[in-house]
Amino acid sequence: MLKLSPNSLVLLPALAKISCEPNWRWQKREKPMPNYDLFYVWSGQGWLELNDKTYEIGKGSCFLFRPGDHPTATHNPQKPLVLTYIHFDVTEPVEIIPKSYRVLQETVEFEHLLSRYVRMFLIKTYAAEEEARLILKLLLIHLLREDYGQPPEKKASNHLTETIHEIANYIRQHPGMQHRVEDLARRANLSPRYFAIKFKELTGMSVQQFLIRSRIERAQHLLMHTGMNVTEVADALGYRDIFFFSRQFKQYTGKSPSEVR
């Protein structure tokens, strides 16, 4: 469905967001499902059987039923299901189809699209069908990305990489602050030890080395472009000993601060 034109999506009137009654059951159909049905659980607890397999369902459970499926479902009356279903069909041959079931971990964007799709028809918005086809295509892309994109461990790895680089950028932007590993690790929701290991792995430097380099690079800029003197630059970057600043500056640049200025 990745390459389907939105115009090939046939919007069907069977769509809603509903809160199921305590005695709700979805009985097995006499005839197989004639079209596609996007089925998403907002909250509650239930059980759904599809193709001889039973799934326990709750928030984030998402199915894409296909023509020929015979799903059945029930729920816990104490925790009734709130769900959205959207029936649709296609007029083009379909190559890649989202998997029948997944549990979405990041639900905010998906739920926003579902709500907007249903609202299009409830309030009879101008050009509703045209926009609804685009939204439905986005929903299908979301499922395909969830199914065939990066595996969960890769996503987690990418998230950690982004977090470490965001913190490295934060250090660059605030080189004069007294950054402690414990405080930076807290920003990343990591232990100080693990944060220090991953920081060095991803930046090639320890936190302390990175901080010193950031300070010296900022010092070079201030000395060359602002007219600040050596004492003012040292003070602005958190150095209380101008001789220590000069020694560290020369160690990293090969020149004394006065030579650069």
Same domain for 181 and 137?
no
User: Residue 153 corresponds to which tokens in the numbers above?
Assistant: 């461990």
CA geometry: angle 217, 223, 224, nearest 5 deg: 90
User: Which of these three, 123, 148, 173, is where a domain ends?
Assistant: 148
Tokens 């020149």, residue?
255
User: Which of these three, 93, 114, 148, is where a domain ends?
Assistant: 148
Residue 90 · residue 36 · CB < 8 Å: yes
Q: What is the CATH number of the domain that holds 138?
A: 2.60.120.280
Same domain for 115 and 190?
no
Give the domain extent around 192.
Answer: 154-260
Contacts of 64 (CB under 8 A, 6+ apart): 36, 37, 38, 39, 97, 98, 99, 100, 143
- Percent pLDDT > 90 in the chain is 58
- Nearest of 64, 69, 110 to residue 88 by alpha carbon: 64
Same domain for 95 and 40?
yes
Same domain for 140 and 17?
yes
* Residue 50: band (very low, low, confident or very high) from pLDDT cuts 50, 70, 90: very high
Lowest-pLDDT range of 14-18, 145-149, 207-211: 145-149
pLDDT at position 30 is 75
Same domain for 129 and 177?
no
Residue 165 · residue 171 · CB < 8 Å: no
CA geometry: angle 230, 234, 235, nearest 5 deg: 120
User: Which of these three, 97, 132, 148, is where a domain ends?
Assistant: 148
Contacts of 186 (CB under 8 A, 6+ apart): none
In a domain, 1, yes or no: no
Q: What is the DSSP letter of 8?
A: G
- pLDDT tens-digit profile of 71-121? 999 999 999 999 999 999 999 888 889 999 999 888 889 999 999 998 888
Count the domains in the chain: 2
Distance CA(81)–CA(28), nearest Å, equals 18
pTM of the model: 0.59
- pLDDT tens-digit profile of 117-145? 988 887 777 888 999 999 999 999 999 98
